[in-house]
Amino acid sequence: MAQPLSVKVLEVCRVAPRPDLPNLASPSSLPLTFFDIFWLRFPPVERLFFYEFSTSNTPFFDSIIPRLKHSLSLTLQHYLPLAGNLVWPQDSHKPFIKYVDGDGVSLTIAESNMDFYHLSSNGFREATEYRPLIPHLEESHERVAVAALQITLFPNSGFCIGITSHHAILDGKTSTSFVKSWAYICNKTAGSGSADSPQSSPSLPSDLTPFYDRAAIKDPAELEVIWLNAWLKQGGPNNRSLMLRKSQVQPGIVRATFELSGEQIQKLRNFVSVDQNRSKHQVQRISTFSLVLGYTFVCLKRAIEAIEKNIMLVFSVDARSRLKPTIPPTYFGNCISGCSVVLETEKALREQNGVCHVVEAISESIKGLENGVLNGAETWASFIDDFMDQSESQQRMMSVAGSPRFEVYSTDFGFGRPRKVEIASIDKTGAVSLSESRNGNGGVEIGLVLNVQQMRSFASLFAKVLEEEVH
In this structure, CATH architecture of domain 7-233: 2-Layer Sandwich (3.30)
Is 103 labeled as catalytic in the residue annotation?
no
The pLDDT of residue 289: 96
Question: 178 near 64, Cβ under 8 Å?
Answer: no
Q: Which of 115, 219, 275, 412 is catalytic?
A: 412
291 has pLDDT over 90: yes
Task: Give CATH 3.30.559.10 domain extents, the chain.
Answer: 7-233, 253-408+415-468
Mean pLDDT of all residues belonging to the chain: 91
3-state secondary structure of 333: coil
Residue 448 neighbours by CB under 8 Å, 6+ apart: 255, 256, 257, 258, 300, 426, 432, 433, 455, 458
When pLDDT is cut at 50, 70 and 90, the band that residue 236 belongs to is confident
Question: 118 near 201, Cβ under 8 Å?
Answer: no
C-alpha span between 277 and 271 (Å, rounded): 10
Q: Angle, nearest 10°, between helix axes 288-303 and 354-367? A: 130
Beta strands 310-318; 336-344: pairing state: antiparallel
Residue 380 neighbours by CB under 8 Å, 6+ apart: 38, 223, 227, 338
Is 357 labeled as catalytic in the residue annotation?
no
End-to-end CA distance of the chain: 39
Q: How far is CA 209 from CA 77, 119, 205, in A?
A: 11, 33, 6
Query: Nearest 5°: phi and psi at 94?
Result: -150, 160
When pLDDT is cut at 50, 70 and 90, the band that residue 469 belongs to is confident
The pLDDT of residue 395: 43
Amino acid at 40: L
R_g (Cα) of the chain, nearest Å? 22
C-alpha span between 291 and 468 (Å, rounded): 17
Question: 83 near 105, Cβ under 8 Å?
Answer: yes
| Predicted structure pTM score | 0.94
C-alpha span between 185 and 188 (Å, rounded): 5
pLDDT in tens, 98-107: 999 999 999 9
Per residue, what are the HEC states of 13-63? EEECCCCCCCCCCCCCEEECCHHHHCCCCCCCEEEEEEEECCCCCCCHHHH
pLDDT in tens, 292-339: 999 999 999 999 998 899 999 999 999 999 999 999 999 999 999 999
When pLDDT is cut at 50, 70 and 90, the band that residue 56 belongs to is confident
C-alpha span between 261 and 437 (Å, rounded): 8
When pLDDT is cut at 50, 70 and 90, the band that residue 198 belongs to is very low
Question: 87 near 140, Cβ under 8 Å?
Answer: no
Residues in the chain: 471
Question: 437 near 427, Cβ under 8 Å?
Answer: no
Q: Which of 70, 78, 166, 167 is catalytic?
A: 167
Of 439 and 112, the one with more pLDDT? 112
Region of 5 please: left (phi>0), alpha (psi -120 to 50) or beta.
Answer: beta
When pLDDT is cut at 50, 70 and 90, the band that residue 451 belongs to is very high
Lowest mean per-residue pLDDT among 209-223, 278-292, 410-424: 278-292
pLDDT in tens, 119-154: 999 999 999 999 999 999 999 999 999 999 999 999
Question: 353 near 275, Cβ under 8 Å?
Answer: yes
Name the CATH superfamily housing domain 253-408+415-468.
Chloramphenicol acetyltransferase-like domain (3.30.559.10)
The pLDDT of residue 235: 87
Dihedral sign from CA coordinates of 99, 143, 423, 3: positive
3-state secondary structure of 334: coil
- Helix residue ranges per DSSP H, 138-279: 172-188, 223-233, 262-278
The pLDDT of residue 283: 58
Instruction: Give the residue among 6, 43, 94, 49 at the shortest CA–CA distance from 419.
Output: 49
Tell me, what DSSP letter sits at residue 449?
A: E
The pLDDT of residue 392: 45
- Helix residue ranges per DSSP H, 104-159: 116-119
What is the longest distance spanned by two Cα atoms in the chain? 68
Tell me how crowded residue 171 is: count the other CB atoms within 10 A of its CB: 25
Checking 54-60 for CB contacts under 8 A at 24+ apart, the result is 54/415, 54/416, 56/156, 60/153, 60/159
Cβ neighbourhood burial of 434 (10 Å; 0-12, 13-18, 19+): buried
C-alpha span between 457 and 396 (Å, rounded): 18
Question: 96 near 214, Cβ under 8 Å?
Answer: no
On the question of a cis peptide bond just before residue 237, with omega within 30 degrees of 0, the verdict is yes
Tell me how crowded residue 367 is: count the other CB atoms within 10 A of its CB: 12
Lowest mean per-residue pLDDT among 271-275, 445-449, 455-459: 271-275
Dihedral sign from CA coordinates of 116, 121, 126, 127: positive
pLDDT in tens, 74-107: 999 999 999 999 999 999 999 999 999 999 999 9
pLDDT in tens, 331-384: 999 999 999 999 999 999 987 789 999 999 999 999 999 889 998 898 888 877
Cβ neighbourhood burial of 125 (10 Å; 0-12, 13-18, 19+): buried
Averaged pLDDT, 242-249? 90
The pLDDT of residue 393: 45
181 has pLDDT over 60: yes
